[in-house]
Amino acid sequence: MTELFIVLLYILFVLAAIVLIVVILLQEGRGGGLTDALGTSGQQTFGVGTSGINRFTGVTAAVFLGSALMIHVLNRHAGGSSVLDRPEASAPVVPGGAGAGAPVGPQPPPPGPTEPPK
C-alpha cells in the first residue's frame, strides 16, 4: 500500500514540476520573456489580472514542495535504518593495519640473511 502511495506522489511531483515550469515561464516579467514571445496567449489563458496566476503559481509550488517532503519522509520510513546506525557494521580493528603505530612490547628478531644465489 505504501509503495502505491509513493508512486502516486512521484506522479504528482513530476506533474507539479512541469506545470510549475510552464506557469513561471508564462508569467509576465519586467523584461518580457516567454510571454512576449508567445504574444497574448499567456494573458488569454490566465486573464489580464496577475493575481490569479500568482495564486496558481503559489498553490502549484506548495503542491510541489509538499509532495517532495512526503516522498522523502515515506522513502526514509520505508528504507528502515541506515548502515551507520548498526554497530556491527563498523570495520573490525586489525592490529598492525593501515595507520597503525609502532608495535608495543617485545618483537621477534628480524629474519636472518638469506643465502646468496650460486
Q: Where are the domains of the chain?
A: 2-79
Residue pair 64/20 in contact by the 8 Å Cβ criterion: yes
Which pLDDT value is given to residue 26?
A: 86
Q: What angle do CA 38, 41, 42 make, to 5 degrees?
A: 90
Paired with 32 in beta bridges are 29
Task: Report whether pLDDT(57) > 60.
Answer: yes
Q: pLDDT digits over 65-115, tens only?
A: 999 999 999 988 777 666 666 666 555 666 655 666 666 677 777 777 776
Residue pair 45/26 in contact by the 8 Å Cβ criterion: yes
Q: Which three cell numbers stand for residue 105?
A: 612490547
- Provide the CA 70 distance to its chain's centre, in angstroms: 13
Q: Determine the Cα–Cα distance for residues 82 and 60; give it in Å rounded to an integer.
A: 33
